[in-house]
Structure 1
Amino acid sequence: MKVRKVTAAATVALALSVTATACGGSNKDDNGSGGGKKITIGIKFDQPGLGLKTPDGYTGFDVDVATYVAKELGYSADDIQWKETPSADRETALERGDVKFIAASYSINDERQKKVDFAGPYLLAHQDLLVRSDDKITKATDLNGKKLCSVTGSTSAQNVKKTIAPKAQLKEYGTYSECIDGLSGGAVDALTTDDSILAGYAAQDQYKGKFKLAGLKLTNENYGIGIKKGDTKLKDKINKALEKMVKDKAWDKAVKDNFGPAHYKNEPAPKIGDIVK
């Protein structure tokens, strides 16, 4: 009986040891204080120049920014688990805790700030139009009676339809890639979203010469890093990381690497908390 008691006790001790190792064996906590845990970051998977999933991994300006921030939080590139976060799912992903933060061409606005917090901004983009290279659309009002495409959950097309071209026929697709296919095939006449996104598509090899940017600055889009509402500690850490990225010129390098081939004329790096209306 004594042997059985010792064996049972040993079994319990072993189980407790395994549980402790599984739950807390890493030195790193969820805020990135160092160690070996993973961090899940939300990005887009289908935006060339910003967030694109390829057979070789993930590329884009948002990816570079997120990787830099994660490193400053204590995570290596190998610690990052990338999660696709379409425009319509970003707030939900943060509220549920599916991701630690989101860097996905996520424009800061009053409505979104009711649900989530933002670090940054880290890029100032502008809403524009992408049209076929032989199209005569030169201004937003030319869209009246035309088929305008954007993605579900994006504010870009709503801005045009409500304030500039109320007679535009709005077509909402699940991804920008679907809009691009529609534009290429003639199902839609224009795609509207941020110029940084449009430039990335226009610069792809398969689309060179097919599309052009209208060159309009319809809105100011302040890209921020989305975090769960109320997580001020993480917000402060990310803001410090973004400031460091600009200071050590890593921000400039990321812009050149990702937007250079598209001849994208970016705005200077914005100051933290400086939201351009």
Structure 2
Amino acid sequence: MKLRKATAVAATALVLSVTATACGGDDSKSSASGSGSGGGDKIKIGIKYDQPGLGLKEPDGSFSGFDVDVATYVAKELGYDADQIEWVETKSADRENALSRGDVKIIAATYSITDERKAKVDFAGPYLLAHQDLLVKSDSDISKGTDLNGKKLCSVTGSTSAQNVHDTIAPKAQLREYSGYSECIAGLQSGAVDAVTTDDSILAGFAAQDKYKGQFKLAGLKLSNENYGIGVKKGDTKTVNKINTALEKMVSDGSWEKAVEKNFGPADYKNEPAPKIGNIVK
């Protein structure tokens, strides 16, 4: 009787062990989906949903833009096909938290590399050097910052771009804050504002839209240097190194230049050459 009871207990333990192992296997697979190690079911990538030319969710549910193309290339080099990418909208104010929480594996969302951000996350790249600039109408006589004195300058609520222009080069500019860049661009088209300011890459993306082609131009002022990097959770050096290798390959095989032309070409965007990995322009 004692032997039978012991055998029954052992059998039960064996079943429980197998069950736990099976559950553990599922968790491991789920974890790999965001691990960036390749071979997992999915990789979650944070992007913007509302920036034409960079990160835009199209009406049909697809995604387009330079950030999307760069992230897709990088994901492939990490072992993920395009249909294994789960795009996650990542607002500017939530980027660091999204990485630390593990909501996404990487972020490619006009994410400028700064010392303050580097204290919270790690960056691969940079993969694009942008500059703060002005977007004006094609027939505008605004060609330098001081031309904005007495003119209406638009940026989005919470942005420091317009204030920077006001404080440094055009103290008599009339600042206008709208809830989004789409509203600023519409205001520029209607004449409600005379110029819009933010990163030139963002402005070029809007200007390249079919409905705006030929209507606007970039002033080319280069008011700041914005080094776009791919954000990674702090301490994940392995993933940073893999992404850097992927970015170098993207440049060397011509895919980077093709992505620039595809997304910004219609706006006649005078982009900087592809930056070297780790070279942060101050």
Same fold (TM over 0.5): yes
Q: 2:246 aligns with which of 241, 247, 250?
A: 241
Instruction: Note if 1:98 corresponds to 2:135.
Output: no
Cα displacement string for residues 129-184 of structure 1 (whole angstroms, at most 9, x for unaligned residues): 01234444332223334432223454433431332223434444443223222333
Query: Counterpart of 1:227 in 2: which secondary structure?
Result: strand
**TM-score normalised by the chain length of structure 2:** 0.85
1:44 and 1:7 map into 2 onto residues whose CA distance is 53
> What amino acid sits opposite 1:33 in the alignment?
S
Query: Counterpart of 1:196 in 2: which secondary structure?
Result: helix
Relative distance call for 1:261 and 1:38 in structure 2 (3 A) is same
Q: What aligned pairs does 1:68-107 form with structure 2 within 5 A after superposition?
A: 68-107=73-112
8 A contact 1:27–1:35 mirrored in 2: no
Instruction: Note if 1:255 corresponds to 2:260.
Output: yes
8 A contact 2:44–2:104 mirrored in 1: yes
> What amino acid sits opposite 2:51 in the alignment?
Q
Instruction: Note if 1:22 corresponds to 2:26.
Output: yes
Aligned length: 277
Indicate the percent of aligned positions where both proteins have the same amino acid. Answer: 72
Query: Counterpart of 1:52 in 2: which secondary structure?
Result: strand
Q: What corresponds to 1:210 in structure 2?
A: 215
8 A contact 1:88–1:154 mirrored in 2: no
Instruction: Give 5+ residue unaligned stretches, structure 2.
Output: none
> What amino acid sits opposite 1:37 in the alignment?
D
Of stretches 242-251 and 57-66 in structure 1, the one that deviates more from structure 2 is 242-251
8 A contact 1:128–1:192 mirrored in 2: yes
Instruction: Note if 1:138 corresponds to 2:143.
Output: yes
> What amino acid sits opposite 1:42 in the alignment?
G
Query: Counterpart of 2:205 in 1: which secondary structure?
Result: helix
8 A contact 1:88–1:153 mirrored in 2: no
- Structure with larger Rg: 2
8 A contact 2:54–2:205 mirrored in 1: yes
Deviation of residue 231 (structure 1)?
2.3
RMSD between aligned residues: 2.9
> What amino acid sits opposite 1:20 in the alignment?
G
Q: 1:272 aligns with which of 255, 262, 277?
A: 277
Cα displacement string for residues 66-109 of structure 1 (whole angstroms, at most 9, x for unaligned residues): 01111111221111111122333323322333221111112222
Q: What corresponds to 2:43 in structure 1?
A: 39
> What amino acid sits opposite 1:232 in the alignment?
T
> What amino acid sits opposite 1:211 in the alignment?
F
Instruction: Give 5+ residue unaligned stretches, structure 1.
Output: none
Q: What corresponds to 1:148 in structure 2?
A: 153
Query: Counterpart of 1:131 in 2: which secondary structure?
Result: strand
